[in-house]
Amino acid sequence: MPIARYYDASKNEYDQFFPGVPLDDLDEEFFSSLPEWLQNSIDATPFYRKTKPPTETPKRATDKET
């Protein structure tokens, strides 16, 4: 299952948490099942970070068109 939010314990020095939300990486299925207000709260904390969208690899001159 793809990760929706990464957990960074080093940015949670006071061991803060949201009830029912693990202090661990959150997968897409779990994160999307949370109410919008809780998703917004998670995004506002420094100890969960969003994943970066996948980026396309730039084409090289040696790559062949298919």
Using pLDDT thresholds of 50, 70 and 90, give the confidence band for residue 24: very high
Please say whether the beta carbons of 7 and 51 come within 8 A: no
In a domain, 62, yes or no: no
Number of domains in the chain: 1
Residue 8 has pLDDT above 60, yes or no: yes
DSSP string, 33-58: HS-HHHHHHHHHSTTEEEPPPP-PPP
Q: Which amino acid is at 10?
A: S
- Inside any domain, residue 63: no
Angle at 15 between CA 3 and CA 23, to 5 degrees: 20
pTM exceeds cut of 0.95: no
Spatial separation of the C-alpha atoms in residues 63 and 9, rounded to whole Å: 41
Q: Is residue 19 part of a domain?
A: no
